[in-house]
Structure 1
Amino acid sequence: MRLLILGGTEFVGRAVTESALARGWEVTVFHRGRHAPPPGVAELLGDRTEEGGLAALAAVALPGDGTHAWDVVVDTWSGAPSAVRDAARLLSGRAARYVYVSSRSVYDYPAPAGLDEDGPLVEGASPDAGDDVPYALAKRGGELAVLDAFGDRAVLARAGLVIGPWENVGRLPWWLTRIARGGPVLAPGRPDAALQYIDARDLAAWMLDAAEAGLHGPYNLVSRPGHTTMGELLNACVRATGSDAELRWTDTGRILAAGVEPWTDLPVWLPPGELYDTLHQGDVGRAHAAGLRCRPVEETVADTWAWLCDIGGTAPQRADRPPTGLDPATEAKLLAG
């Protein structure tokens, strides 16, 4: 299989590249040159946000036997839908299939617990939109752009919460770093709160499998509800880091009354309610029936900690995402009661 990955050097893109290389695929990485891709790939440089930025892709000659230059394209873009539109149009005759890493945010909010791929979608999305649209509209606009160019040759991978090695958003790395410092740690809500997420490597593996199998259409890509719990996640962090951290489970009402923001100040965690149902209670039967397998939380946490240690303990941070994590003074105040 010949893979073109648009990105391929960070987080989900990196996981896709590594997974394809492990399968013995021929991998071409199209990126801006800001980060080195893994060894063993072919590189094409360009900035899809600039005029003429796709020239390197356009210059790739088609095989003389009438086949495509690539069997599959994987696109992780989360910015302007117009960038997805331009890439998909250019590649429609050069690639057999297009896998777009979308998001479960494309569903009309609030998404009730148990919502599957047939749920109502956000309105107002356009494949021609620029950078000035909210995330949900950007992702839905990207979906529309891919469908317009590839039709039933497109897979829309609607990912949920993504964690694992190479994370550049700061969720699991923040918890690992905080717990590694040891001492009393504010643990939010109830330890039995069910979580729904996906390891970037499991997402990558499923997308490549889907491309090989000729799947098409939308799939919710996340673990089953209750794959793990908040308590299991944080205890796995304690074990992975080997710290003396003491998890202090704290009432949700006290946390919210202190002005602490779920999801951002305390990554991954959400109190019961609409947003919790939307992000941690989605229906994923279709993806699991199509072969999705999610590794145990213990493995995800341990591998993420090993990666963090290997790169010096400081995780990369995407410039377009705000830093996450609870202010130490606020944590100390809550712990003091």
Structure 2
Amino acid sequence: MYTNRRKFLKDFSMVGAATFSIPFVLPNPISAVKLNVLVLGGTNFLGPAIVNSLVDEGHNVTLFNRGITNPDLFPKLSKIRGDRKKGISGYQNLERAKKIWDVVIDVWPQNPNFVQNAITILRNRAKHYVFVSSIAVYANYGPIGLDENTARRKGNNYEQGNYNLNKVLCEKAVEEAFPGQFTIVRPGAIVGDRDSGPFGRYLLNRIKNRKEILAPNSNDPVQLIDAQDIGRFIASCLEKRVGGHFNLIGPASKLGYKDMLVLAKKALKSKVSILWMDPKFLVEEVKLEPFMEIPFWIPITFDPEPGFYQISNKKAIRHGLAFTEYDETVKTSYLSFKEKRFIEEEGYDVVFGISEERENDIIARWKEKTK
């Protein structure tokens, strides 16, 4: 039943236990009040949220990217063109800049070779490295309350398509090259402005634009985080000179699947009728797969990995993680979908949800069963 979710985590897509669970205060100040920050990427989804947070705090930001994705964003910021997919040669313009950076923020890679190339160029030209990783690094989601000290997936060599392992190897490269001078954040599901995932495109779209939708009559836990909360947290860590590993998981208080839909319906002022169906009917009779065909739903009573949406965010909250109100996230996410403010991920062909035709057929079957 859950093999597709495991496959998703592997394809969308270790190294023993994490050893940096205690945050560390950086031994030397990164900089004065204004930081010189180099952002590798910065113009697709999470990148703009990070850049906006840094700019709002008055830091000096330079973007290093190909100039292809959303090239008109941030017209006032300095830009250096380069292509990381070309290896070391893709950094020629950055090398010519001959500048020392207080902070480098690496938003995108799932390939440790890309991270290692950036480190080769920047090891002696940057004081601090921020890397955006993922909760996918953890080896086992069975336990409830996984924290930053939880064992990561094992492996030492890059494997094409193995997102989970490759993120671990990216983390390891940063840890080794910048000991005591790194911040690694591990978000879960990221939503909000520019999100191309199923939250806006599937879940909120159905709530806003269909007359009826199906949903499991279940309030199993859900975790997600607004992109702008990640941006603000990274900026705050840099200003406070706090390093280490952090699970960036939201929302602020516990959210159940049923609550998620009801609150989203209210925020969008939708008149949709939500047909709450027996979870066993959905899973056993009509063979819908949780998480993949019912996005964000993991029925913990018969899921072998109930900890997937119950990961601890206590450490990040202690160090300043604050959350956008859920209804604001809903509105932003839906507007972003409606205005098509997202870009399809290159090579990303994972399909979440079901077709309208199949949903209509299941609704008809449920009504016949329960009349």
TM over 0.5, yes or no? yes
Provide the C-alpha distance between the structure 2 equivalents of 1:290 and 1:296, rounded to a whole number of angstroms.
19
Picking from 235, 240, 253, the partner of 1:208 is 235
RMSD, aligned α-carbons: 2.0
Alignment of 1:1-337 (within 5 A): 1-35=35-69, 36=71, 37-51=73-87, 52-62=89-99, 69-126=100-157, 129=158, 132-190=160-218, 192-223=219-250, 226-257=253-284, 258-272=286-300, 273-274=302-303, 277-309=306-338, 311=339, 313=340, 315-321=342-348, 322-336=350-364, 337=366
Tell whether the 8 Å contact from 1:195 to 1:226 is kept in structure 2 after alignment. Answer: no
Q: When the two structures are aligned, how many residues end up with a matched partner?
A: 325
Please name the residue that 1:65 is paired with. none
Offset at 1:153? 0.5
Offset at 1:206? 0.5
TM-superposition CA deviations, 1:142-181 (whole Å, max 9, x none): 0011112111111110111111111122333321211221
SS where residue 171 of structure 1 aligns?
helix
Offset at 1:233? 2.2
Provide the C-alpha distance between the structure 1 equivalents of 2:189 and 2:125, rounded to a whole number of angstroms.
31
Tell whether the 8 Å contact from 2:139 to 2:153 is kept in structure 1 after alignment. Answer: yes
With over 3 angstroms needed to count, the CA separation of the structure-2 counterparts of 1:290 and 1:27, relative to structure 1, is: same
- Structure-2-length-normalised TM-score: 0.82
Tell whether the 8 Å contact from 2:195 to 2:336 is kept in structure 1 after alignment. Answer: no
Tell whether the 8 Å contact from 2:141 to 2:305 is kept in structure 1 after alignment. Answer: no
* Aligned residue type for 2:123: S
Between the aligned residues of both structures, percent identity stands at 28
Structure 1: stretches of 5+ with no match in the other structure: 63-68
With over 3 angstroms needed to count, the CA separation of the structure-2 counterparts of 1:189 and 1:199, relative to structure 1, is: same
* Aligned residue type for 2:75: P
Of the two structures, which has the highest relative contact order with CA contacts closer than 8 Å and spacing of 6 or more? Answer: 2
- Structure-1-length-normalised TM-score: 0.89
Structure 2: stretches of 5+ with no match in the other structure: 1-34, 367-371
Tell whether the 8 Å contact from 1:71 to 1:95 is kept in structure 2 after alignment. Answer: yes
Provide the C-alpha distance between the structure 1 equivalents of 2:362 and 2:179, rounded to a whole number of angstroms.
52
With over 3 angstroms needed to count, the CA separation of the structure-2 counterparts of 1:261 and 1:78, relative to structure 1, is: farther
Offset at 1:277? 2.6
Please name the residue that 2:19 is paired with. none
SS where residue 131 of structure 2 aligns?
strand
Offset at 1:195? 1.8
